[in-house]
Structure 1
Amino acid sequence: MLFSSLPSALLIGLAIHCGVSTAATEEKIVEPCTVASSTGSFYDLRKMSILPLKDGKKPGKNDKIDDWHVRGYDFPYNFTLNICAPVVADIDKPVGISSNLKKNVSAFYEHNDKTYSIGQLSSNLTLRGRRLVLQYTNGSPCGDNTKRDDDKKGERRKSSLISFHCDKDPLATAPSVTFVGTDPDHCSYHFEVLSKDACISAEPAKQGVGPAAVFAIIGVIAILVYFLGGVFYQRNVAHARGWRQLPNYSMWAGIGNFIKDILIIATSSCARFLPTHRGYSALSISANGPSGRGRNGRGPEDENRLIDQLDEEWDD
């Protein structure tokens, strides 16, 4: 039987291929603290995130274990911040921040024995033109608590805007974080980070369904359609039963017989190397003698004559 179900198999395979292609063109899942531009540029700042050490683990020689500390210069206070992660420092009762949210503070400063949050955790990098920025919001209430018409919560809160720049200096070993300034209300703070990690990098390959897997799926579907369609045809059209329901049964049977013959030949060839019972054969020959007679000296002819003689006597 010819492969009459080939069109069906091709249609199913084409549907699978289209589904895989559609899934591949869907929007990729963005990893935290990474961003890719429409032109293919990829940025990954995860190396700049300072994470607390796990219990019993010792830091490496070049591992940074404390937050990024930034001088305020003409300001009466300095700043502490982390990139795409909460600060490692243990802060106590930030102004205007509930106790269950203080663990998400990613930037703060201390002034007059009080701790002020200037932004909660965020890992959403944004590309504005050629500028790579990260924004922290929902910090402590601003000092004057000035209400705005567009402020739904009724009060302004401190925030931070961090812009990242590629450091092309081959001698630079660590990122440089600088405080740029704040607005007159001391409600929004601006920082700049110069780092090699802010340079364009290659986007890591993501595991997915490759061309080989697509063709493998199409092949499996085609084989299933071939056998199921063939069995349906042989059973309902050709009225075959048993193994003859398989498509191209004579071909498969011929292949099976060929394999069987190969196994028999291989087994026979190996049997020649097995030890034989030569001791028993030699004993049998020596017992019968070289002329084929038994121990009593009688051969087959003698026995036949004896039997004939006994038959004649019995008849008499």
Structure 2
Amino acid sequence: MGAVHNLLFLGITLISIVHKATAGCTFPQHTAENEKLEKHIQPLLGKRYSAKDANEEYVYQIGICTDAVDVAEVPEAKDKNIAAYQFMNVNGKPEFTGGHTVGRYNNASLTKGTGWILLEFRNGDAYHTHCNKENRRARIMIICDEDVSVGSETINIFEENTNKTGDCYYLFEMASSAVCGSKPVVTFGLSLGSILVIVFVCVVFLYLALGIVYHRFMLGSKGMEQIPNYSFWQDFGNLQSDGCNFVCRSGGSPQKSTFKGLGDDQLQEEEDRDDHLLPM
């Protein structure tokens, strides 16, 4: 009998483990597949958290897409898909009888923003007198915090919004690094202009270095003569000036006068008479 009892207990445990592993949220209000929505909270799936209100009047048990309470504690929770459950806090201990289901993970909703995720569990127990007797719902605001590792999170009840006729909810808040996402990889790329400048500088350096080595050790040059093509670089400025003068300046060579005055012959003769002054 003891062996049969152990086998039965092992079977129940395995069934429970399989149920936990296969349990997940269902999002009937979304058109996307469940797996695509659950990937945003993948590190938190299957984890349980508890919280107390400010007056410590109630205790809340939260399950992220899994059963929030054990059937041993709350037998009526079996196969109810309870994601959020409210207990009475009696002498510092939760009173399991007479609790309320705040939301179920088979009727969930997920809203994702930059650095936060709002996970909502709907279809909880109906209010007795508040909120037009609609069903309770739990909203869990998960905020990105790189300093809070997965598994070390704490959840707090922020408010129970029941002071209106409809759309009432329990608001919970939790910080976790699980919703921060992966950091973008920063790459430093070079533009085409930068590559060309680097290539140009390398070519100039090699030209000078190899030219100086060749002239110094092969040709025996000294001083400025070691610079490769020194005579060319020495006249480079003059060559630029000549090119600029040829291309940019509009003035041509002085034109000869087409009108010859009366005194031109005499001037020419005077110039010819000076030829004898030139040294032979």
TM-score by length of 2: 0.43
Answer 1 or 2: higher relative contact order, Cα 8 Å, separation at least 6. Answer: 1
**Higher fraction of strand:** 2
TM-score by length of 1: 0.38
